[in-house]
Structure 1
Amino acid sequence: MTHLKPSPLRVALFEPRIPPNTGNIARTCAAFDLPLSLIEPLGFSIDDRQLKRAGLDYWPHVNLSVHTNFQAFKNSLAKPFRVIGCSRRDGVALQGFCFEPGDVLLFGREDTGLPQPVRDQCDQILTIPMPCSADSDGQGGVRSLNLSVACAIACFQAGLKLQLW
């Protein structure tokens, strides 16, 4: 088994479905020098034209790894690490969270988020507060942020708190 090189912060996408979101997240990871892990199954091919277009010419600057499933991903992480699930519901507010070196920001599928068995394996769940969020029935506001936007916000906040920039 190959172990991933230690990193003060890492981004992981659980079963991403939309190529442009993954491409945009790859671009964010390249800009912030953060490794990106994709957990299969993916909803597209790594060679997808939309994926490459969204990532522009930054793909050579992305430290990318692909894992067959969530357990294989966890087994590949260098210790110490914490898996920090990012979700629109039932999490600790991002701005108050104390990040630690080795943290992994885990984002779920665009259509279903993180399934409960994966959430249960996370060390913590984070939520980006949205003052105009929808109620529990999905009415009266915004249901969620775009995955790539949420990832960029969380990466930037975590990097600031870890003094990576």
Structure 2
Amino acid sequence: MRLALYQPDQAGNVGTILRLAACLGVPVDVIEPCGFPWGDRALKRAGMDYAEIANVTRHADWARWARFASGARRRIVLLTTSGAIRLDQARFEADDILLIGSESAGVPADVHACADQRVRIPQIPGTRSLNIAVAAGIALAEALRQTGRWPE
């Protein structure tokens, strides 16, 4: 299981996700460009010392990350508000990559089209979307539960 962040805008959210991933032993791919300098104080503050132990790989752009994902032969599971599959109905595999779009724009249509599965977290009518760090935590918890990959 991996998390991939597509051109994230908010350093604090990335720091929170790095902390989550470090605590659960899940690698993170950051697909650049980011909307903030990598050494941003908000990234460090949110990630605390956990960001230093997180397994993070930065990719210069979508094309380079897509080659990496294709070479690894892993399914791409996109978390999206327009996903056809509800999170509670999605079926995860141990080698899936959970892809999360940027806070401001999600992912473009060409990236959306590359996903093997498009999953949405159900929300009440009238709400737009969850914070990406919250969405990452919810989806990762379900994926780890299904695949029996919770740390001891």
Q: What's the TM-score, normalizing by structure 2?
A: 0.94
| Residue in structure 2 matched with residue 153 of structure 1 by the alignment | 138
Residue 89 of structure 1 aligns with an amino acid whose one-letter code is: S
Match of 1:38, SS state, is strand
Q: Gapped runs of 5+ residues in structure 1?
A: 1-8, 135-141
Contact 2:94–2:149 at 8 Å: present in 1 too?
A: no
% of aligned pairs identical? 35
- TM-score normalised over the length of structure 1: 0.87
Q: Match of 2:6?
A: 14
Instruction: Show CA shifts across 1:101-147 (max 9, x none).
Output: 210000001011111110001111000011x232xxxxxxx211111
- Identify the structure with the greater helix proportion: 2
Structure 1 or 2, whichever has the larger Rg, is 1
Match of 2:37, SS state, is coil
Please tell me the residue identity of whatever aligns with 2:118. I
Q: Note if 1:114 corresponds to 2:107.
A: yes
How many pairs are equivalent?
A: 149
Q: What does residue 17 of structure 2 align with? A: 25
Q: For 1:133 and 1:69, how far apart are their aligned partners in 2?
A: 34
Structure 2 residue runs without a partner (length 5+): none
CA-based RMSD? 1.1
Aligned counterparts of 2:149 and 2:125: Cα–Cα separation in 1? 30
| Poorly superposed stretches of 4+, deviation over 4 Å | none
